[in-house]
Amino acid sequence: MAVNHAESPPRLVPGRLLAATHNKGKVEELKALFEPHGFNVVSALDLGLEEPEETEATFTGNALLKARAAMRACGLPALSDDSGLAVTALGGEPGIYSARWAGEPRDFYRAMQRVEDALKASGSADRSAKFVCALAVVWPDGQEAVFEGEVHGQLVWPPRGDRGFGYDPVFVATGETITFGEMDPERKHAMSHRAEAVKKLRATLLA
């Protein structure tokens, strides 16, 4: 689903693209998804921009919050991803708090263990989950667009694979037998929640 906060958002012109994220894993995925289309992805981390506190209650709200902050800091169109893991038996948790479950400093093995412990405590045999991504673009003239993507699957334990990042080692996408953490990055980039959101963005802003 695309949520456009402008009747006809401008096209994204290949060239420098500001990714409003400090997550190195996300930056690498965004580079893999956008650079083949002529973009040079530069992150907020590269530019030393402050990371705003994520105070919204939805992925879309937090994606817009981060993109707006980066746009204001640089005066350039800014792209921001907000994403996370939503576990059915946990009522959608950790959801927008996916990174916070990893604590400070970030330790996603701890986060994955926390999810596993919560699943056991729930008493549910349902291990279905999905990754959710909201990809926001904000232009200096105030126009905004948001594109959403999801990938559904099952959680496994123990974690498998050292590729990807975040919760990838415990997530097996529907129709697959290996985790995102075991999967070749190109294969993951073709099916991930982020890839789905980028596909919708490209269809609207790059067509």
Q: Give me the active site residues, please.
A: 82
- Report the distance separating Cα 149 and Cα 42, nearest Å: 22
- Report the distance separating Cα 37 and Cα 121, nearest Å: 46
* CB contact burial 10-35 (16+ within 10 A = b; e otherwise): eebeeeebbbbbebeebbbbbbbbbe
- Report the distance separating Cα 163 and Cα 179, nearest Å: 9
What does DSSP assign to residue 50?
P
Angle, helix 193-201 to helix 24-34, in steps of 10 degrees: 40
- Report the distance separating Cα 113 and Cα 110, nearest Å: 5
Amino acid at 167: Y
